[in-house]
């Protein structure tokens, strides 16, 4: 319902203001860093027309900060029904299934979404199938539900609160930063980047799944190498909804990193492929990337260098550079 409302509101604004006659639904008009409007969707649902010059809703941000984040714990003992851990409430940890010796996987959804988004259930199921882990889903819907420009402005605060929460969790109940893996999709990728930065880059891994591109080209709060011990990026809709330039220690460009991905016909589907590829890699670890000498070589999918697997949940994984590879059209790709 929220998505439908935002789409109607955007269309009404354009019609009333007579700003532009039309915006192609395939984003073929969009030029990164120059265009004012872009169709965006954090899944394969109804795309939303976003005005990148929209006014920041300062009043809403004042009341919808990262302090409103919720932290949902899933384990093999509660794989489908979450337990809520509340920041600064130690009793909420002791009454949960959190075990300090397990790996900790932290997942952040994208814009307009919530803890109930498919990325969370898909990745939680994948991780719990292959290992006994603590899965912590971050529900940051109060900020993610704002207009896109306002949500972008709110990302650093959301990430700071996550970083503070994780520090408190480990200091209170135990844990090891070498067992912490942060994963974020689209706008959520920049959220986990800020979370890792807030801890001083202590998490073992940070994975950005097609990090959001609009308004992030020169944004100093962008997910970056150094936000964790190893930062990996999977680019699937570069130049449209996703950022295209390399920003991590290792940047993967499956099928060239731009829309359409195999089996997709549009930007929305290609954007979502990032978390789908990652989920498949957790199960099978079958995506073998080859190093590229440049982004241009990666875009042409002509990389022939050394190999590094894309994705997976191995906490000791390390690598650097640009990588290209091909995938299939359907699961497990």
The string of DSSP letters for 183-227 reads EEETHHHHHHHHHHHHTTS-SSEEEEES-B-TT-SS-TTS--TTS
Alpha helices in the chain (DSSP H): 2-17, 58-63, 90-94, 118-130, 141-144, 148-173, 187-198, 267-284, 295-299
Mean pLDDT over 152-159 rounds to: 98
18 pLDDT more than 80: no
Q: Is residue 277 part of a domain?
A: yes
pLDDT of residue 26: 82
More confident residue, 45 or 260: 260
| Coil, strand or helix at 73 | strand
Q: Is residue 267 part of a domain?
A: yes
Q: Is residue 159 part of a domain?
A: yes
Q: Is residue 176 part of a domain?
A: yes
Q: Is residue 11 part of a domain?
A: no
Cα 243 to Cα 21: distance, rounded to the nearest angstrom:
27
| Mean pLDDT taken over the chain | 93
Cα 228 to Cα 235: distance, rounded to the nearest angstrom:
18
Q: How far is CA 185 from CA 12, 114, 192, 224, 245, in A?
A: 29, 12, 9, 14, 16
The pair of structure tokens assigned to 146 is 């704002």
pLDDT of residue 44: 62
Reading phi first (left if > 0) and then psi (alpha if -120 to 50, else beta), residue 197 is in: alpha
The pair of structure tokens assigned to 39 is 């169709």
4 pLDDT more than 80: no
Cα 186 to Cα 271: distance, rounded to the nearest angstrom:
8
Q: CB of 242 within 8 A of CB of 212?
A: yes
Alpha carbon 325 to chain centroid, angstroms: 20
pTM value is 0.93
Residues labelled catalytic: 186, 210, 271
The domain spanning residue 287 has which CATH number? Answer: 3.40.50.1820
- Count up the domains in the chain and report the number: 1
Could you list the residue range(s) of the whole structural domain that residue 158 is in? 65-325
35 pLDDT more than 90: yes
The pair of structure tokens assigned to 7 is 């789409």
Q: Is residue 57 part of a domain?
A: no
Q: Is residue 181 part of a domain?
A: yes
Mean pLDDT over 115-139 rounds to: 97
27 pLDDT more than 80: yes
Cα 74 to Cα 137: distance, rounded to the nearest angstrom:
8
């Amino acid at each position: 319902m929220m998505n439908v409302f935002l789409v109607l509101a955007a269309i009404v604004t354009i019609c009333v203001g007579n700003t532009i006659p039309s915006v192609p639904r395939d984003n073929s008009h969009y030029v990164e860093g120059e265009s004012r409007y872009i169709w965006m969707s954090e899944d394969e649902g109804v795309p939303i027309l976003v005005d990148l010059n929209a006014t920041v809703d300062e009043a809403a941000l004042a009341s919808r900060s990262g302090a409103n984040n919720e932290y949902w714990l899933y384990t093999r003992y509660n794989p489908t029904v979450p337990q809520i851990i509340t920041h600064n409430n130690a009793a909420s940890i002791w009454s949960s299934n959190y075990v300090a010796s397990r790996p900790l996987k932290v997942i952040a959804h994208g814009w307009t979404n919530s803890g109930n988004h498919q990325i969370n259930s898909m990745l939680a199921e994948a991780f719990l199938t292959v290992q006994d882990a603590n899965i912590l889903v971050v529900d940051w819907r109060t900020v993610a539900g704002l207009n896109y420009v306002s949500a972008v402005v709110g990302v650093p605060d959301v990430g700071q609160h996550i970083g503070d929460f994780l520090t408190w969790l480990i200091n209170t109940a135990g844990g090891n930063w070498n067992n912490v893996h942060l994963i974020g999709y689209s706008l959520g990728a920049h959220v986990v980047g800020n979370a890792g930065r807030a801890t001083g880059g202590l998490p073992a891994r940070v994975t950005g799944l097609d990090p959001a591109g609009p308004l992030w080209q020169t944004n100093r709060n962008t997910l970056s190498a150094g936000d964790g011990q190893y930062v990996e990026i999977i680019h699937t809709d570069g130049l449209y909804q996703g950022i295209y330039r390399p920003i991590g220690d290792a940047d993967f460009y499956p099928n060239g990193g731009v829309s359409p991905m195999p089996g997709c016909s549009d930007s929305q589907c290609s954007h979502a492929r990032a978390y789908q590829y990652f989920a498949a890699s957790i199960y099978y670890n079958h995506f073998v990337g080859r190093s590229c000498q440049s982004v241009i070589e990666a875009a042409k999918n002509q990389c022939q260098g050394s190999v590094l697997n894309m994705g997976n949940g191995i906490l000791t994984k390390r690598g650097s550079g640009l990588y290209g590879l091909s995938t299939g059209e359907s699961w497990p790709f």
